[in-house]
Amino acid sequence: MTLMLDTTALLARFLEGPGRDACLSAMDADPVWCASALALTEALMVVDRLGDDPARTDDLRRALRDDWERIHVVPVDQACLDRAAELGRTQPLRTVDAVHLAAADRLPPPVTFLTFDPSQMPVALAMGLSVGPELPPR
C-alpha cells in the first residue's frame, strides 16, 4: 500500500487538531509515504501564516523538512500538469488540489489519498483511490 499525502495531511502530522491522531495512525500503519513536489512548498507557506511565534515557526519548518527526507516525491512535471488540467476541467477543484490528485494518479495502486480537504475526497474516490484518514465520530 502507498500513502499519498496532500498538504493538509502533511501539516496535520505536526499541528494540533481533530484529525491529528487519525493522520498519525494512518502514517504509522503505512511506511510508504508519497507527496507531490508541490506539497512541501505549500506547507511551508502555510506554516509562515500560522502565528507570530518565530521559534515555533522555525520548529515546524525544520520538522517538515526532516520528514520530507522520508517522503517519496512525485514530480510536478508536464505529464502531472496535463493530468491536473484535465481534472480541473472536469471536476470542481482548485489548481493546487488538481496537482496533488494528478500526482496521486501516477502511483501504482493501491493508493490511499490522505487529505482533510472535503473537495478532494469525492474526486479521489472517483479516481479509484482510497481516501483517509478515517476520523472518529463526533
Q: What pLDDT, on the 0 to 100 scale, is given for residue 96?
A: 96
Q: What pLDDT, on the 0 to 100 scale, is given for residue 23?
A: 93
Domains, the chain, in order of start with CATH, read 2-132 (3.40.50.1010)
pTM of the model: 0.92
φ, ψ at 4 (rounded to 5°): -100, 120
The DSSP secondary structure of 47-73, one letter per residue, reads: HHTS-S-HHHHHHHHHHHHHHHTTSEE
Cα dihedral sign, 40-135-121-101: positive
State the 10-residue block means of pLDDT for the chain, 138 residues long.
94 91 93 96 93 90 95 98 98 96 97 94 96 67
What are the CA-CA distances from residue 30 to residues 40, 75, 89 (Å)? 20, 21, 32
